[in-house]
Amino acid sequence: MPGVGTVYRWELFKLRHQKRTYLGLGAAVLVPILFVLAIHLRHHHDHGGFAFSDYLDRSGLAVPLVILLFGAVWMFPLITALVAGDIFASEDHNGTLKTILTRSLERWQLFVGKALAASTYAVTAILLCGTVAVVAGSLQSGFNSLQSLSGTIVSAPKGLELVYVSLLIYLIPIAAIVCIGLLLSSVTRNSAAAVVGTLMVSLLIQLIGILPGLTGLQPYLLSTQFNAWQGLLRTPIDWSPIIQAVWVCALYAVPAIGAAFVVFIRRDVAGG
Amino acid sequence: MNPPAPTPDSGPATASAAAGPPPIEVRGLVKRYGDLTAVGGVDLTVRSGDVYGYLGPNGAGKTTSLRMMLGLIRPTAGTVRLFGRDPMESVHALEGVAGFVEAPTFYPYLNARRNLEMLAAYDGGGASGRIDQALETVELTGRQRDRVGGFSHGMRQRLGIAAALLRNPKLLLLDEPATGLDPAGMRDMRVLIRNLADQGMTVLLSSHLLTEVEDVCNRVAIVRSGKIVYEGDIAALKRGASTSYWLQTTDDQRALAVCRAQPGISDVRSEHGRITFTADDSAAGVLSQALIESGALIRAMAPQTVTLEDLFFSYTEGDGPAAEVDPPPPALPAEAAR
């Protein structure tokens, strides 16, 4: 019997045959390479004073962490939105929603399969970017120990483990971005509007965080949760930002995915 | 296109389904978008084995009705039952049902076979095993590895039929299947639909191509401004229309007088160099005898064939079958004799 698994497998198959998938994954691969190239071409070692900047020349493991720091602004939201914002809207664009809705699958099964596929793509992009950053960074600066944010030295293998756990923590706000992308994709029925809209929502939330008088909102902004992984890089591990990221992101993700679900289930398929 | 090969579990449900609920039963179907009423209370019944033409001009609400029948659009009011099941309640109501609304659509970046494989996976129940046969039926076997994005309109229409056949349907809903096809493609589509019907498939065919409907359908509904203005057999529809004749004689003035005096002859007119009148077969026979006796010899006399097109326009633009049917252009006696 066909079910969510069937939809999920075919959605992944479809993603493998679409240019936008490779655009996103290509960016996830290229950005760390370009970043490492930029480090290599610099003649002095002043990298600016942000977290792990001093370690860029001493340990390749600092590279993925720095990319996580800056990628939150627009790169990862955009890469995520490329698929999440498109996955329902492209069905409207191609007129294929009516084709798949008249087969033997319930709408909820199609929705869940598509949401899982968009999430899988986002996870793949983040992990791919992190892995390329580790490899490229290690080639440039060596696979060396890393200094935590508390000043303690972490061995290279332990550092590698922390990098991957950080990537997983980073997926919490990314999941919220996926949900917002799915909502806009479902509501706007327009791929470009959904992709750009998702990015704009992400940027808007960051903008709110820097507006004078609104700094009190920062703990509850999605943009803040992109830094939750830094709790792992403290000794002892500070779990509070990670726990906060879970529930704050849920506040964004659950209503968004819920609304996307209701819209998709109830909508009239009058076009295409 | 090749006739579809019957499969062990395919085809005629006619006998068994005849006792059950009809393939399509629509009652009081309404769809409103704000102030606009797209469908204004449609009632129709498609019986098992019917090839049912759903006729109407563009914008009459045919496609919206079909979308509601397939569960794509939620009706504002009324009910749709497919074999007794409500398509809005569960997709299981579409078991044994297939078709497409407007142009069939596929993923342009996948080839034809991949598209069908995906749809077969979504269907389950052995649909994958019917892909080769479906492609062969619509003569796309040789193009199955080509991306659908490069397909012509006609090829997409055929692929749409193939996608429908994967479901081994007992009921096929086709929305304007021949629209946009070249004459050969239209002919092939008609042949295919006839073949499917011959296998016992019930077909609902939405169209504004009257020849298509007249060629393949046994029953028809004519929809006008979202409402059904006629539903029934095409043959009965034609029989219900008055039979008119045209006549040319050696002395039309005398013939005109004879016609007007003859019982059973009505609506006598002289126009376009010929006489037209309405009569049944027996009255027309008696009239021909009376004309000979009067000395107005018949050069040509023939019934004016009432086409579905005439009736369609009388329903959609006029007041029904009683509306006047335009006379054909003057014909040569030899032509009339054929």
Q: Given an 8 Å threshold on Cβ–Cβ distance, is B74 in contact with A270?
A: no
- Chain B residues whose C-beta sits inside 8 Å of any chain A C-beta: 64, 67, 70-74, 90-92, 94-95, 98-110, 114, 118-119, 121-125, 163, 167
pLDDT digits (tens, 9 = 90+) for B30-71: 999 999 988 988 999 999 999 999 988 888 888 999 999 999
% of chain B residues with pLDDT over 90: 45
- Whether residue B21 is found in the same domain as residue B156: yes
Q: Which two tokens stand for residue B128?
A: 């994958």
- Whether residue B286 is found in the same domain as residue B201: no
Residue corresponding to tokens 């980073």: A170
Q: Given an 8 Å threshold on Cβ–Cβ distance, is A104 in contact with B91?
A: yes
Could you tell me the strand order of the sheet in which B298-304 lies? B266-271, B274-278, B244-249, B298-304
In a domain? residue A271: no
- Looking at the complex, does the CB of residue A1 fall below 8 Å from at least one CB of chain B? yes
Q: What confidence category does residue B264 fall into, taking pLDDT thresholds of 50, 70 and 90?
A: confident
Q: What confidence category does residue A192 fall into, taking pLDDT thresholds of 50, 70 and 90?
A: very high
What residues of chain A, 130 to 159, have a C-beta less than 8 Å from chain B? none
- Whether residue B108 is found in the same domain as residue B182: yes
Highest mean pLDDT among A5-14, A198-207, A210-219, B270-279: A5-14
Residue B251 scores a pLDDT above 60: yes
Q: Given an 8 Å threshold on Cβ–Cβ distance, is B105 in contact with A96?
A: yes
In a domain? residue A272: no
Q: Show which of B188, B209, B236 is a domain's final residue.
A: B236
Average model confidence (pLDDT) across chain A: 92
Rounded CA-CA distance B182/B203 in Å is 22
When divided into structural domains, chain A yields a total of: 1
Write out the DSSP string of chain A.
---HHHHHHHHHHHHHT-HHHHHHHHHHHHHHHHHHHHHHH-SS----SSTTGGGTTT-TTHHHHHHHHHHTTTHHHHHHHHHHTTTTHHHHHHT-HHHHHTSS--HHHHHHHHHHHHHHHHHHHHHHHHHHHHHHHHHHH-S--EE-TTS-EE-HHHHHHHHHHHHHHHHHHHHHHHHHHHHHHHHH--HHHHHHHHHHHHHHHHHHHHSTT-GGGGGGSHHHHTTGGGGGGSSS---HHHHHHHHHHHHHHHHHHHHHHHHHHH------
Q: Which of B74, B102, B123 sits opposite A103 (nearest CB)?
A: B123
Q: Show which of B186, B214, B236 is a domain's final residue.
A: B236
- Whether residue B331 is found in the same domain as residue B183: no
Q: Show which of B236, B264, B279 is a domain's final residue.
A: B236
Q: Between the CA atoms of A84, A182, A250 and A242, what dihedral angle is there, to the nearest 10 degrees?
A: 10
Compute the count of residue pairs across chains A and B with CB atoms less than 8 Å apart.
91
In a domain? residue A16: yes
Rounded CA-CA distance A211/B304 in Å is 82
Which residue of B lies nearest to A270 if distances are taken between CA atoms?
A: B73
Q: What confidence category does residue A231 fall into, taking pLDDT thresholds of 50, 70 and 90?
A: very high
pLDDT digits (tens, 9 = 90+) for B182-195: 888 888 888 888 88
In a domain? residue B33: yes
Q: What is the mean pLDDT of residues A118-133?
A: 97
Q: What is the CATH number of the domain that holds B166?
A: 3.40.50.300
Q: What is the mean pLDDT of residues A171-195?
A: 96
Residue A221 scores a pLDDT above 50: yes
- Whether residue B306 is found in the same domain as residue B277: yes
In a domain? residue A212: yes
Helices (H), chain B: 14-19, 62-69, 112-123, 131-137, 153-165, 183-198, 210-216, 234-240, 252-261, 281-294, 308-316, 333-337
% of chain A residues with pLDDT over 90: 79
Q: What is the mean pLDDT of residues A157-186?
A: 96
Q: Given an 8 Å threshold on Cβ–Cβ distance, is A94 in contact with B104?
A: no
Q: What is the mean pLDDT of residues A169-189?
A: 97
Residue B321 scores a pLDDT above 60: no
Q: Which of A7, A96, A103 sits opposite B107 (nearest CB)?
A: A96
Identify all chain B residues contacting A108, using CB atoms and an 8 Å cutoff.
none
In a domain? residue A224: yes
In a domain? residue B291: yes
Q: Supply the range of the domain harboring residue A87.
A: 4-266
Q: Given an 8 Å threshold on Cβ–Cβ distance, is A100 in contact with B121?
A: no
Average model confidence (pLDDT) across chain B: 83
Q: Given an 8 Å threshold on Cβ–Cβ distance, is B73 in contact with A268?
A: yes
Query: How far apart are the CA of A72 and the nearest CA of chain B, in angstroms?
Result: 31
Q: What is the mean pLDDT of residues B170-179?
A: 90
- Whether residue B141 is found in the same domain as residue B52: yes
Q: What is the mean pLDDT of residues A235-255?
A: 96
Length of chain B: 338
- Whether residue B253 is found in the same domain as residue B177: no
Q: What is the mean pLDDT of residues A221-244?
A: 94
Of residues A10 and B321, more confidently modeled: A10
Q: What is the mean pLDDT of residues A219-240?
A: 93
In a domain? residue B149: yes
- Whether residue B112 is found in the same domain as residue B256: no
Q: Given an 8 Å threshold on Cβ–Cβ distance, is A103 in contact with B106?
A: no
In a domain? residue B257: yes
Q: Please tell me the predicted confidence (pLDDT) of residue A170.
A: 95
Q: What is the mean pLDDT of residues B219-229?
A: 85
When divided into structural domains, chain B yields a total of: 2
Residue A101 scores a pLDDT above 60: yes
Residue A189 scores a pLDDT above 90: yes
Residue A237 scores a pLDDT above 80: yes
% of chain B residues with pLDDT over 70: 85
- Whether residue B279 is found in the same domain as residue B230: no
Q: Supply the range of the domain harboring residue B279.
A: 241-337
In a domain? residue B5: no
Q: What is the CATH number of the domain that holds B299?
A: 3.30.70.100
Of residues B10 and B314, more confidently modeled: B314
Residue B326 scores a pLDDT above 80: no
Instruction: Specify burial of residue B166 (Cβ count, 10 A radius: 0-12, 13-18, 19+).
Output: buried
Q: Given an 8 Å threshold on Cβ–Cβ distance, is A99 in contact with B119?
A: yes
pLDDT digits (tens, 9 = 90+) for B98-124: 999 988 999 999 999 999 999 999 999
Query: How far apart are the CA of B280 and the nearest CA of chain A, in angstroms?
Result: 48
Residue B334 scores a pLDDT above 60: no
Q: Please tell me the predicted confidence (pLDDT) of residue B182.
A: 83
- Whether residue B306 is found in the same domain as residue B202: no
Residue B12 scores a pLDDT above 60: no
- Whether residue B288 is found in the same domain as residue B219: no
In a domain? residue A56: yes
Residue A48 scores a pLDDT above 70: no
